[in-house]
Every structure is written in C-alpha cells, then in structure tokens.
A and B are shown apart, each in its own frame.
Chain A
Amino acid sequence: MVAPGALWLGFWVALPVVATFILSMTDYNVFNAPKFIGLDNYIHVWNDPVFHKATWNTVVYTFWTVPVSMAIAVVIAVALNQKLRAQSWYRAAFFLPQVTATVAIAMVWLWIYNPQQGLLNNALAIVGIPGHAWLESTDTALWAVSLVGVWQGIGMKMLIYIAALQNVDEALYEAASIDGASTVRKFWSITLPMLKPATFFVFVISIIGAFQVFDQVYVLTDGGPANSTTMMTYEVYRSAFQNFKMGLACAQSVFLFAFLLVMTVISRRMTKGDES
C-alpha cells in the first residue's frame, strides 16, 4: 500500500533532486543537449556579485523576519493562553494571513505601500511623518518586503506556541504566585524556559520558510530596485525560467539547499546540546 505514494514521490521529488545535482554540472538551455562542464557553474555562482547580493538579502530578510515575528508570536500566544472571552476571534485574526495566499496578500500590500493613495503613507501623514515610496527606494524596499513577511508569519508561530503552552504545568505558576513573583517575572522565569523546545522548532521551520521567500518578492518588487530585494530563490527562478540557464539555476539551488542544511544541522546541534 505504500507503493503508489512512494513511487509518486520518488518520481516527482527524489528523482528531481538527484537530477538537480547532475544538471548543476552542465551547460543546458532546454533546446540543446546538456553539455558537461564540471564545476564551472559553481565557480560562476561563487563569484557572481548578483548572487552574493541575493544571498545577503535572503540572510537579512530571514534574520529580521524570523526573530521579530517569533517575539510577537510568543507574546500573543501567552496573552491568548489566559481565559479571555473573545479568545477564538483574536486567534482567528492573527492566523488569518497564514491561510491566505501570499500573492493575494502581497497585492494588497502593494496597494498599502502606494506612495499617494496607499494606507501606510496616509496613516503616517495623520501623525505627521512624511510619506515615502517604500518599494521604490533601495534603502527601504527590503524592509518593506520583510514587514509583509513578519505580518504573515506571526500566525503559524503563535499557534505552535499556544499548543506548547498547553503542556506547561499550571502548578509552576501557582508556586511562583505564592512566592510573590510578578507577571513579567513569571514570563521570563517560567514561560520562556518552558517554551524552549517549541522555540527551537519554530526557529528551524521559520528559517527554512523564510529562506524560500518568493511570491511577495515577485509581486512587490520584482527583485528591484537595483537588486536590493532579489533573493536566492528569485535568482534560481531568473536563471532557469527567464535566461534558460538550467544548469546554472541548479547550481544556485544547490547553494540554497546547502545553506538550509547547514542551518538545520546547527539548530539540531543546539537543541540536542540543550536537552542533555
């Protein structure tokens, strides 16, 4: 009974992964037969300033969105863990962006960032902050893209934290209350330490998700201005499907894969060291 599923995934996942590694050592434009060129693609990627920029942007995006939305998520989760009347409504509100399509969401944000008619600049104008063409400036575009990532990413993390909080022993809080600990103190000394395993888990899956950011870049900035928001995934897409350099795209995706693998292994190590 496992056979259909295993064959299906074998054909559409395992085989392509192997093919990626093989193709990454070829010069291939779909129309002519692939030509073996050894490690040339890797050398090219290694020295390519645009790919450096893309890597740097991906790292900046990841290390800005992941911790910020994790911090917000843990606070919201703790707040929602209290008995509140409108609890399920709040939870739905925070989780809503997670279930809606990134393309649709990015479209809305494109309109929010609109310099003249957009919600953001007009809201800022009310409090006297001058507006800005957020997506058109190399200084702000990456931050504008990241903000969308933070906004959309809270829900999932919050949910995992809520589930983890259900397993925290209520008696700990009671004991702390008897000792006269404040709410803030309880948060730092009980809640956060108890959430450590969940935090590591959220961290790993969030990094893996953030490294693969694509849809919002496609809609919001198209990688621009001046490559200031291009990402590793976006370069893979460009090489393969705009420039038809399939081999090069494969080499780039191997770099992406290697990055993620290293990140996962590091996180695993940290978790393991923590448990022992």
Chain B
Amino acid sequence: MSAATAPAQTEKTTPVVMTKPRSKTRLTTSLTLNVVLILGSVLMVMPFVWMIVTSLKSPAELALADPTFFPSTWEWSNYPEAMKAAPFLLYFKNSFLIAIGHTAITLALGSMAGYSLARLPFRGREVIFMGFLAMLMIPTYTKIVPQFLLVKFMPLFGGNDIFGQGGSGWLNTWWALIIPGGLTASSVFLFRQFYTSLPKELEEAARLDGLNEFRIYLQIYTPLMKPALATVGLLTFQESWNNFLWPLLVTTSDSLRVIQVGLAVFRQLESTSWSFLMAGTTLATVPMVILFLFCQRYFVQGFANAGIK
C-alpha cells in the first residue's frame, strides 16, 4: 500500500518568480520562517545528539544526580568496550549482508517483473497486475504467522523430512533472513511506474535490430533507469536494515542476529549500561544517516514517487 498510482514524476522546477527584495515584511517573514525551522530541526535532531553524547559519557557520569548534557570527559573507549560487551560488529555485518541480499534480489526480480508489467503485452497481464496491487494492500501482520510456519516447515532443511516435519526448517538460517523478504510488491510497483514512463520508440527500434525481449530489457531500457534503480535499491536497503520483527522471529542464535534485534536483546541484559547501549544504537543508526545524507536526492525522489499521484 505504500506505493500508489500514476506515472513517475519527472522532476519539475517551480517557476521562480522574480521579485525585488523589497520591504520589511519580506525580511520578517523570512526571519520568522528561519527561526521556526531552526527550532523545529533542533527538536528533530536533538534525540540523535542525545544519543551520541550519551554514548561518550562514562558510567559514573551517567549516574550523577545532577545530569550533564555534554560529557565532562569524552569516553571514546566506550565504543570498543561496547563491542566487547556484545558482538555489535557481527550484528552490523549480518544486517549489512541481509540488506545487500534483499537489494540484489529486488533489483533483479523486481525490475524484471516491473518491466514486463509495464512494457510486455502478454496474456493475463492485467490479472497479474491486479494481483500485485492486491498484495500491496496486505498488512505485514496478516501474513506473518503463515510466513513463519512456511519457514519452520520448509521441507528437507534443518532436519525436516520431505513433509517439513521433524526439524527446524529454515529457522536460524540465512535462508529465512534473506529469502521471504527479498521482494516486495511495492518495489515491483515502483519499477513498473518507472518503466512505463520511458518512450516506446526505443523498443520498436531495438526489435527491428533483432534484439530479443530480454536483451531489450537488459541493454536498452534498464541502463536508462539508473536513478530509478538507485532509488528502489536505497529504499530496499533502508527497509531491510531497519527491519526488526522478522529477524526477531526467525533467529535465536547470537551469530545470526541483526543489529536491531541485537540492540533489543542487549537492552534486556540486566547489566546493560546506557553508554554502551547508546554506542550500539549509534552504530545501528549511523549507516542509514550517512547513506541518507549522501543520497538524499534518491531517497526524496523515491518517497515522493511512492507518494504523489
């Protein structure tokens, strides 16, 4: 349901109305705007600042009756200490591998499906497209129990017999972490929107040149879609990195834990220190923050495309 309708939005530039920088009212308006926006952004960013300053305080300082905002001594050693208290680097690596896996599957299968739905006239296309649309509407919680059961009773895996009985199936395996969430209906949908917006002349010319359909997809259209691939890829990576419920359900062993689950488990340990916990949280947040700051354009385009009619 997160994606909806209509062809891809081409970037539009607002017509810039040239007005002379006149009058006091204009100045006060821009001043008020800036003040409001600065206050707002400070409120938005404050929790992140609080997270980082906490991660650099000593446990003794955190226990003070009169708490400080900035650390009196900056304890950079909290980070190596936190990694000793819990294998955050391993969690980090697991999350990364899964996110890469999801992104690769989505880019390959999602773009193929999106391309066919957009450009290939075949029988039953409308029906299949309606199917994808319907799947967009399905909330996670309406499929999570059977998904879990499918994973648990996966035949011939994890000690299961051919009927899926007797073992643990895909539970506690990379399969469970990567395969079920590898493709989403919304990414297929986004891809379809992007491919629909490309001109038809290209494929006609390519067909005259004798290229087969798969090569038209791979060599003609997909290279034109690099921004779209980046957008869908980043959204997939982000969703996967931030996912919590599914890895929580299908893994119990520490070696397969993803960073979000690792954090939640670390918190439940009795001796959890807030500075270590915030150090771990910083590790769980920083990759997305960096990715976002560097690829803001694609994120914005992605969300706006999913959003606007």
Contact = CB atoms under 8 A, between A and B. Distances in A.
Interface residues of A, number: 100
Contact of B142 (A111, A119, A201, A257): A257
B194 to A, nearest CB: 15
A241 interface: yes
Interface string A60-90: 0000000000001000100111111010111
A276 B63 CA distance: 62
A260 B137 CA distance: 9
Given A103-B284, A246-B149, A240 B50 contact: no
A203 interface: no
Contacts of B109: 4-5, 8
Chain A: interface secondary structure?
Answer: helix
Contacts of B236: none
Contacts of A204: 1
A103 B137 CA distance: 24
B143 A20 contact: yes
Given A1-B113, A90-B37, A101 B288 contact: yes
Nearest to B2: A205
A2 interface: yes
A144 interface: no
Contacts of B188: 5, 9
Given A12-B180, A93-B41, A253 B141 contact: yes
A79 B145 CA distance: 44
A47 interface: no
B139 A99 contact: no
B139 A101 contact: no
A92 B65 CA distance: 35
A133 interface: no
A30 B183 CA distance: 26
Task: Give the interface SS of chain B, mostly helix, strand, loop or mixed.
Answer: helix
Interface residues of B, number: 103
Given A4-B109, A84-B34, A108-B48, A163 B263 contact: no
Nearest to B140: A212
B304 A162 contact: yes
B82 interface: no
Interface stretch (A37-45, A134-142, A213-221): A213-221
A92 B213 contact: no
Most buried by A among B117, B125, B181, B242: B242
A79 B36 contact: yes
Contacts of B65: 116
Interface string A102-133: 11110111111010110100100000000000
A2 B277 contact: no
A13 B45 contact: no
A132 to B, nearest CB: 16
Interface string B19-35: 00000000001100110
Contacts of B4: 201, 205
Contacts of B37: 76, 79-80, 84, 86, 90
Nearest to B25: A183
Contact of B303 (A101, A159, A233): A159
A100 B284 CA distance: 8
A198 interface: yes
A249 interface: yes
A181 B284 CA distance: 48
B14 interface: yes
Contact of B67 (A5, A122, A198): A122
A156 B214 CA distance: 36
B147 A218 contact: no
A94 B267 CA distance: 27
Interface in B255-309: 260-261, 263-264, 267, 274, 277-278, 281, 284-285, 288-289, 291-293, 296, 299-300, 303-304, 307-309
B213 A241 contact: no
Interface stretch (B71-79, B127-135, B201-209, B225-233): B127-135
B245 A214 contact: yes
Interface of B: 1-2, 4, 9, 12, 14-17, 29-30, 33-34, 36-38, 40-41, 43-48, 50-51, 54, 62-65, 67, 69, 109-110, 112-113, 115-117, 120, 122, 125, 128, 131-132, 135, 137-150, 152, 179-185, 188, 213-214, 217, 238, 241-242, 244-245, 249, 260-261, 263-264, 267, 274, 277-278, 281, 284-285, 288-289, 291-293, 296, 299-300, 303-304, 307-309
Given A1-B213, A112-B50, 15 more contacts: A2-B120, A2-B128, A5-B109, A9-B135, A16-B144, A30-B149, A79-B37, A93-B44, A94-B41, A95-B300, A99-B292, A117-B62, A117-B63, A253-B141, A256-B142
5 contacts: A5-B109, A16-B150, A96-B289, A111-B277, A219-B264
Interface of A: 1-2, 4-6, 8-17, 19-20, 23, 30, 72, 76, 79-84, 86, 88-105, 107-112, 114, 116-117, 119, 122, 151, 154, 156, 159-160, 162-164, 166-167, 170, 174, 183, 197-198, 201-202, 204-205, 208-209, 211-212, 214-215, 218-219, 232-233, 236-237, 240-241, 246, 249-250, 253-254, 256-257, 260-261, 264
